[in-house]
Every structure is written in C-alpha cells, then in structure tokens.
Amino acid sequence: MLEAPGKNYVSESRGSRGPRRVSASPERRLRRDLSEDFADDPHWEDDAPVGRRKAGLRVRFRGVPSTRWGRIAAGCGVVVLLGICAGLFAMARSFLLHDERFVIPSSSSIEFQGNAHVTRAQLLSIFGEDVERNIFTVSLAQRRAELERLPWVAHATVMRLLPNRMRVSIVERTPVAFVRQGSHIGLVDGNGVLLDMPVEARPDGKYSFPVVTGISAEDPLSTSRGADEDL
C-alpha cells in the first residue's frame, strides 16, 4: 500500500506561492507617482538623472543671442528700428499737415445734406474758419457739437472726403405745433425744443398745426414736452 507524500505536497504548495511582496520605499513611490502624473507629457523623461531633475526646467527662446555682445547688438538693432519707424511717422505727419493737396480751397468744397429749414449760409457760418485750412486740422467732433447747437439740427455727422472736401449730413427736428409768445409765432417739436419760423415758410401754406400758448424759451424742456403731449 502506497502512502501519499502529504507533507512534501504541503511544503511544495507553500513554496509555490511566489516571491514575497516587498513594500516600496518612499523614493520609489514618489518616482512612480511622478511618472503617472507626467505620463502624458512628451517632454518628461522618467529615466533622467536625478541632478538634472533637481535643476528645474530651463526655457530657451529661439532667436535670442546667448552671449552678452550678441544681446547688446540685438538691443542696438531694436533701437535703430524704432528710430526708423519714428522718423517715417514724422515724415508722414508732416506731409499730411503741410501738403497743399489737403487744404480746403473754398466753401464749395463743403457739402451739406439733409438741411431743409437750416440755410446753407447758417451752416457755412460754422465752417467759415476752415476754408483754406488743412483738412486734418479740422476737429470733426467740435464742428458736430456746434451744428447740434442750432435749434433746427437734431443730429449732425461730419466726414472728411480726401484729399480736400468735407461732407455734412443734417437730421432736422420735426415741428408738431405752433407756439405763440406775445406777437411772435414760432414752432415746437415733440421734445419741447422751440424753433424759429423759417424765413421762406408761411404759417397758412406749409404747416397745419394747433397753436400752443404759455410756453417760454426760459421754461425747462420737461414743461414744454408735457404741453406737447397734451395736444
């Protein structure tokens, strides 16, 4: 009768469990964690020397000289380039401000559009100083503000048409009623702005509005607007 080698089988089974797992050292664990964190970075080198990793990442810009004299030469080149640009800008500015082709020759070079009640003479009184003047020295914002101070002008646009012409577009106010102030008859728009009667207009021929009384030029616009809304 044969006896099974039980003890030997048990000892062999215990021996076949494989090598015992050894806990990783802190340094290897840190290296493994860093490898997992930077696994997607193509520039990360897991096998790089320790001294290289401690030195940090060095960034180099292409085209920048690495030597001292090279950087000095590059700085001088930048200064020269800036000087050339400044000189070209000064030449262009002098050409635009002093060339005779950019001078407004006469009042006929100023074009007006949209004016039905404001006469050309009234508009030219604002641009009188701009005739025979360089077109680039005319302040468009200032001329627009002066135009919009005229009672009939609600909005104005001023443009330069190179080399020596200007275009002015006018949006006039729309009257809604007559205003009687003593013996004087005028007009008023929907915002309560008092308007003078145009010279060529006749109350019985061009306008057909109700007559409002009790409005004075010294009254605030809120009072005049309220009177217009009651019409």
Tens-place pLDDT, residues 63-73: 667 788 888 88
Residue 13 has pLDDT above 50, yes or no: no
pTM as predicted: 0.57
* pLDDT band, residue 150 (cuts 50/70/90): very high
Give the amino acid at 33.
Answer: D
Asked if residues 129 and 146 have their Cβ atoms less than 8 Å apart, the reply is no
Query: How do strand 165-172 and strand 184-189 relate by DSSP bridges?
Result: unpaired
- Residue 90, classified by CB atoms within 10 Å of its CB into exposed (0-12), middle (13-18) or buried (19+), is exposed
pLDDT in tens, 26-38: 555 555 555 555 5
User: Which uninterrupted H or E stretch holds 72?
Assistant: helix 68-98
